Structure 1
Amino acid sequence: MNKARMWKSYLGVPVLAAMLSMGSAYAQSLASGDQKALKDMAMANMAEVETGKLALQKSQNAEVKAFAQQMVDDHSKGLEEVKKVASAKNVTLPTELDAKHKAMSKKLEGLSGDKFDREYMELAGVKSHKEAKAIVSKAQTGAKDADVKGVAAKLQPTIEQHMGHVQQLNASLKSGTSMGASGSAGSSGSGQPAKDMKRGDTTAAPGASDASGTSAAGTTGSTVRDGSKPPAPKDSGNTDSPNHPSNPANKVTK
């Protein structure tokens, strides 16, 4: 029994070595540029997932958080697609962020509030998606392996959709019109919407009057506070009494 086990162990070593060499040879058969494309696509997806999770923790902006959740969901799926191809090609993918993306995450971790939102959208949103689009575009035109080209083409529509979304959201953040934590539009800081502050709305309530007695409609009040009719001016030819002989209405027309 011991001899049998010994022979099996001897035979197992070369068989295992042969299998490993075959896998290595297959990976080497994949062009170095194609291997790099897979690794770059994996890194781009990993970075979006990690920064998206960070935004979900730190941001107080409803729209930014919704965007971050979409990044986590979509790029997690994208990463799985890349892993499938890499596994089939025996290409080892990175398991952690590279130095550049670690530095980006560290920078974002040190920010908060509006500063975090703007920087997250600028770095992980605009900049990173431009880089990701360049990676998949290059893979589709330059890769030699059909599967590498295929996964790049599969990722591109999602990246482009994200780019359109992030540009709109980034613009609204810069202009201060995005939805905040409460879900209300950005205000001027006084509780009144910014557009109302710019308009300078000074319209008084209906029926109100100012110190001069002018009503909100811009006409002079025709009654006094007790509700009675005010006396007519002396030079008007009228008096309070409708029966007064000086009242023009009582003059007999000849």
Structure 2
Amino acid sequence: MEDSMAQIELSLAALKKSGNEALRVLAQSMIDEHGKLGQEMEQLAKERNLAIPAPQDPSHSGAAKMQRLSGREFERRFVETNLRDHEKSLKVFQHYAGAESDRKLKALAGRAEKMVASHLKMLRELEKNLAK
């Protein structure tokens, strides 16, 4: 859940800092989809009486550090950071989608896996375009 919050924060920064239309579309998609996923995860955690991690101090987040960047440097770092985070998240969701016995958690992980895989595909395409 903390990863989703960080990706939303970073995507909000991208909407303010980037003029790249494809990046802005991806950022908005990530805000919408990670926001919905975070709500679903929070609801499931409450149903299962699981602790919900406290939000990270914004001054220590990747988005706060990236506020100093602009233009292509910001865009490259946005893609680089999100590629790394999404690859890590994909492995976690794949594990839970395949191994979890809790049907509700397994279904949520399966939906999250598809979402993250879709974002990874868009991020890889952006990475190619920014390298030109």
Shared fold (TM-score, shorter chain, > 0.5): yes
TM-score normalised by L of structure 2: 0.88
C-alpha distance in 1 between matches for 2:118 and 2:62: 23
Residue 105, structure 1, aligned to residue 63, structure 2: yes
Where structure 1 has 5 or more consecutive residues not aligned to the other structure, the ranges are: 1-41, 176-254
Report the TM-score when normalising by structure 1. Answer: 0.48
2:42–2:52 CA contact under 8 A, matched in 1? yes
Aligned to 1:120: 78
Aligned Cα root-mean-square deviation (Å): 2.0
Report the Cα distance in structure 1 between the residues aligned to 2:3 and 2:61, rounded to whole angstroms.
14
| Structural mapping, 1:47-196, within 5 Å | 47-97=6-56, 102-124=60-82, 126-175=83-132
Contact 2:93 2:113 in 1 (8 A): yes
In 1, distance between residues paired with 2:73 and 2:106? 38
Compare relative contact order (CA 8 Å, sep 6+) and give the higher one, 1 or 2: 2
Is the CA contact 1:83–1:93 (under 8 Å) kept in the aligned structure 2? yes
Measure the CA separation in 2 of the matches of 1:63 and 1:155.
22
- Runs of 4+ aligned structure 1 residues displaced above 4 Å come to none
If each structure's helix is expressed as a fraction of its own residues, which one has the higher value?
2
The Cα shift of 1:115 comes to 0.3
| Partner Cα distance (1:44, 1:144) in 2 | 23
Q: Structure 2: 5+ residue runs without aligned partners?
A: none
Deviation at 1:133, TM superposition (A): 0.2
Aligned residues: 132
Following superposition, the deviation at residue 152 of structure 1 comes to 0.7
Aligned AA for 2:128? A
Cα pair 2:6 2:61 within 8 Å, conserved: no
